[in-house]
Structure 1
Amino acid sequence: METAFLHTPLGIAKIEGDTHGISSISILDEAPERSSDIPEELEDAVYQLKEYFEGSRQEFDLELNPQGTEFQRKVWEALRTIPFGQQISYLDLSKRLGDVKAIRAVAAANGKNPIWIVIPCHRVLGSNGDLVGYAGGLHRKKWLLNHESPAKQVSLFPN
């Protein structure tokens, strides 16, 4: 398994994978002391994530290899169909998967998504539109949704 780190506006992205694909992208507050070399197997992922944060990429074209149960992988695949700049609710996602009663299981699988941003679990909201259930922190979810919004929110007050 190879590892690379990428500085992003939200922290350090830790990218893991091999010749079979990307198995994990997670967000860290600090990068461990590691080489800054990017393994060949991860170069495309690093490049595409940079483009995403620069605002020039809306879709990812990467070989993914997330590890999870059959149900989790089914949910993660459904997440990949949510278009850039759009959001759906957990209930809508459950409906897409064919079982409204599976909403809790769908939410749990969403929370175990191992591939940050590329599998866009940040695009799933509570039924009332609330920002809920984001492992990377709600401040990051809010930032990502704003980043993908066609109408960027601006603050009237400087930080």
Structure 2
Amino acid sequence: MQLSLDHIASPVGDILIVSDGDNLRALDFHDYAPRMHRLLRLHYGGYELTPGTAPRPLRHALEAYFDGELSDLASIAVTTGGTAFQRLIWSELRQIPPGTVTTYGSLAARIGRPTASRAVGMANGANPLNIVVPCHRVVGADSKLTGYGGGLHRKEWLLAHERRHSEG
């Protein structure tokens, strides 16, 4: 599989963008590149990354998000590997409004599997599309921040950014 790799600067560090020319395939932080490569291998098997420029609408939507236009992320076309269950969870994550959070248990209940909170957590952790598939909006049952593939400091920043720009 031939994919292109681009990067943009953001307030929380450089972001790596992997696309197939039309759709986003992976998005991660530069210091989490090994995680991104592990997920690409897991979801796609063999792949080749070549330097390139991500599609303009994708770059624009990410830049707009960091400028406070949170709804622009919904316009990003994504294609992911993963199991049917993982893709279901990732789709549900995109339904969580910016500036709000949910728990793993609530997400499991939303999909009709109330006892599957651990499986939801595992799918959340295998998300290859940080920010765009907003796994940072999921917190522990006690409302505390839990693990995040980009580091808890980024999760905290992203949630504060969204709350700030979601307030009317």
Give the alignment's TM-score, normalised by structure 1.
0.85
The 4+ residue runs of structure 1 with deviation greater than 4 A are none
Q: Matched residues in 2 for 1:96 and 1:131: separation? A: 20
Higher RCO, Cα 8 Å, sep 6+: 2
2:58 maps to a residue whose letter is A
Q: Matched residues in 2 for 1:104 and 1:30: separation? A: 23
Identity %: 38
Task: Work out which of the residue numbers 15, 18, 41 in structure 1 matches 2:17.
Answer: 15
**Paired position in structure 1 for 2:150:** 136
Gaps of 5+ in 2: 34-50
Tell me by how many angstroms 1:42 deviates. Answer: 2.3
**Which deviations, in whole Å up to 9, do the C-alpha atoms of 1:108-134 show, x marking residues without a partner?**
000111011010000000011100021
Task: Work out which of the residue numbers 127, 136, 145 in structure 2 matches 1:113.
Answer: 127
Deviates more, 1:91-100 or 1:11-20: 11-20
Asked if the contact 1:59/1:84 (under 8 Å) is kept, the reply is no
Alignment of 1:5-154 (within 5 A): 5-29=7-31, 39=53, 41-60=54-73, 61-150=75-164
Structure of larger gyration radius:
1
- Alpha carbons of structure 1 residues 67 and 151: separation in structure 2 relative to 1, 3 Å: closer
Q: Kindly indicate which of the two structures has a greater share of residues assigned to helix.
A: 2
Give the alignment's TM-score, normalised by structure 2.
0.80
Tell me by how many angstroms 1:30 deviates. Answer: 9.2
Gaps of 5+ in 1: 32-36, 153-159
Q: What is the RMSD of the two structures over their aligned residues, measured on CA atoms?
A: 2.0
